[in-house]
């Protein structure tokens, strides 16, 4: 984690990974794990959209997800997007999603 001081006397911290971000926000391990999971799903969805060659409208028709959400996901948005929407979009592209649990 890096602390940066601005010229106006205020300082702020920069998190370089999800663990540092969770620490800054005061989140527990469960919330940190969920944040990582959601970010990974987002990356998978973006990659699946790109690899599929499908248009946003085609993905909307196949997935039943609103056009605004598909566009937001395609552009890497996380806010206001649930994990099930990521999975619906990944599935609509024809990609396979496998979940593994590690202890």
CATH number of the 28-92 domain: 1.10.260
pLDDT tens digits for range 21-59: 888 889 999 999 888 888 889 999 999 999 999 999 999
pLDDT of residue 2: 60
pLDDT number for residue 80:
86
pLDDT digits (tens, 9 = 90+) for 92-102: 999 988 877 77
Number of H helices, E strands in the chain: 5, 2
pTM score, whole prediction = 0.77
How far apart CA 80 and CA 33 sit, in angstroms, is: 18
Burial category of 90 from C-beta neighbours within 10 Å (exposed 0-12, middle 13-18, buried 19 and up): buried
The domain segmentation of the chain, as residue ranges, is 28-92
How many angstroms separate the CA atoms of 59 and 66, rounded? 10
Q: How many residues belong to the chain?
A: 103
Strands (DSSP E) found in 1-103: 2-5, 11-14
């Amino acid at each position: 984690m890096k602390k940066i001081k601005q010229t106006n006397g205020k300082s702020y911290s920069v998190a370089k990974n999800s663990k540092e971000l969770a620490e800054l926000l005061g989140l527990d391990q469960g919330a940190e794990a969920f944040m990582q999971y959601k970010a990974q799903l987002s990356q998978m969805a973006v990659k699946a959209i790109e690899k599929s060659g499908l248009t946003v409208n085609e993905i909307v028709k196949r997935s039943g997800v609103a056009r605004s959400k598909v566009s937001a996901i395609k552009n890497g948005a996380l806010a206001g997007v649930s994990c099930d929407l990521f999975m619906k979009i990944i599935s609509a592209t024809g990609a396979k999603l496998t979940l593994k649990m590690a202890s």
